[in-house]
C-alpha cells in the first residue's frame, strides 16, 4: 500500500529499494541480536540442566541405584 502510494507520488523504484535497505539494518540487527541472546541463554540453561541430571546419575539416584 505504501509502496504504491510512493510510486504514484513520484518516488522511483531505486529510491524505494534504498529506503528498504537502510531501514532493514535498523529493524533487523536489533531483532537478530535479541534472538541470539535468547538462544545463548537457553543453551546455557540446557547445559546446566544436563549437568545436574548427570550428577544425580553419578550419585546413584537412578533406577540402577
- Return the pLDDT at 33: 80
- Return the pLDDT at 21: 84
Domain interval for residue 15: 2-55
**How far is Cα 50 from Cα 42, in angstroms, rounded to an integer?**
12
In a domain, 64, yes or no: no
> With a cut of 70, which residues of the chain have pLDDT below it?
51-65
In a domain, 63, yes or no: no
- Return the pLDDT at 41: 79
pLDDT digits (tens, 9 = 90+) for 6-24: 999 999 999 999 988 888 8
- Return the pLDDT at 62: 53
- Return the pLDDT at 32: 78
Alpha helices, H only, 1-65: 2-8, 13-59
In a domain, 43, yes or no: yes
Amino acid at each position: 500500500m505504501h509502496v504504491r502510494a510512493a510510486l504514484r507520488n513520484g518516488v522511483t523504484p531505486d529510491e524505494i529499494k534504498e529506503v528498504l535497505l537502510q531501514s532493514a539494518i535498523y529493524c533487523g540487527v536489533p531483532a537478530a541480536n535479541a534472538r541470539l541472546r535468547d538462544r545463548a541463554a537457553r543453551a546455557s540453561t540446557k547445559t546446566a540442566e544436563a549437568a545436574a541430571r548427570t550428577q544425580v546419575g553419578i550419585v546413584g539416584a537412578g533406577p540402577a541405584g
